[in-house]
Amino acid sequence: MYNQFQTADHYVLDEQQRNRVMRNTYVLLAVSMLPTVLGAWLGVSTGLSHVFSGGLGMILMLAGAFGFIYAIEKTKHSITGVYVLLGFTFFMGLMLSRMIAMVLGFKNGAELVMTAFGGTAGVFFLMASLSTVIKRDLSSMGKWLTIGAMVLMVGSIINMFVGSSAGMMAISVLSIGIFSAFMLYDLKQIVDGGETNYISATLTLSLDVINVFQSLLALLGIFGGERE
């Protein structure tokens, strides 16, 4: 009987921990969008977005992103990790500013940006809902999604030099699919108790959200951009 009560108490504690991680992750993810927007606005309004074009821009993005990710993982058990994460999302906003500036060059640019934002929010809410109703263990997805993301990154680097519009469309479509699935996987990890650190959870989800938004924006720019 004692063991049954002990098991029940342990289950309640696990459930409380999962709920706490999920709640803290959602709050921090919402807060992290503010420096992302600020970084994007700064990049567009000051012209810094032009710095992130071409090969140099790719190198800056990769070096900065991996540097921030390393720092976040090192500090994720303290409040410092929150500040480093917010710095990372500001940096990613700067990285996004080049594409946002290009889309805003269209007559309907502001509308396209808002549509991409709404579409990304829709994908997130859909994946969040699915993560709570799917009972199957999705941990095996992680390996295949990581391979897909690596292939996607290599394809993006190649297409940067080739400059193919068809290649960009294909990469954008694949990116939406892969990072939407990553979103579901990362949320399910929290729901199942596989991820217990809300800073790490916010980091992975923010990467998913930014990649889906960027890819949606690229597709909308290609298919829906209206020239002045």
Average pLDDT over residues 17-42: 93
State pLDDT tens for residues 106-138: 888 899 999 999 999 999 999 999 998 988 888
Two tokens, residue 153: 């990154």
> Is 4 a residue whose pLDDT tops 70?
no
The predicted pLDDT at position 13 comes to: 45
How high does pLDDT run on average in the chain?
86
> Is 69 a residue whose pLDDT tops 50?
yes
State pLDDT tens for residues 35-68: 999 999 999 988 776 766 666 667 787 888 899 9
The predicted pLDDT at position 228 comes to: 63
Per the CB < 8 A criterion, the answer to whether 126 and 149 are in contact is: no
Which single residue is written with the structure tokens 């309004």?
A: 45
> Is 9 a residue whose pLDDT tops 70?
no
Tell me which amino acid residue 204 is.
Answer: T
Q: With pLDDT > 90 as the criterion, what percentage of the chain qualifies?
A: 51
The predicted pLDDT at position 63 comes to: 87
pTM: 0.87
> Is 185 a residue whose pLDDT tops 90?
yes
Give the integer Cα–Cα distance in Å for 126 and 205: 14
Average pLDDT over residues 195-202: 92
N- to C-terminal Cα separation, the chain:
75
Give the integer Cα–Cα distance in Å for 36 and 186: 20
Which single residue is written with the structure tokens 């108490």?
A: 9
> Is 151 a residue whose pLDDT tops 50?
yes
The predicted pLDDT at position 6 comes to: 45
The predicted pLDDT at position 8 comes to: 43
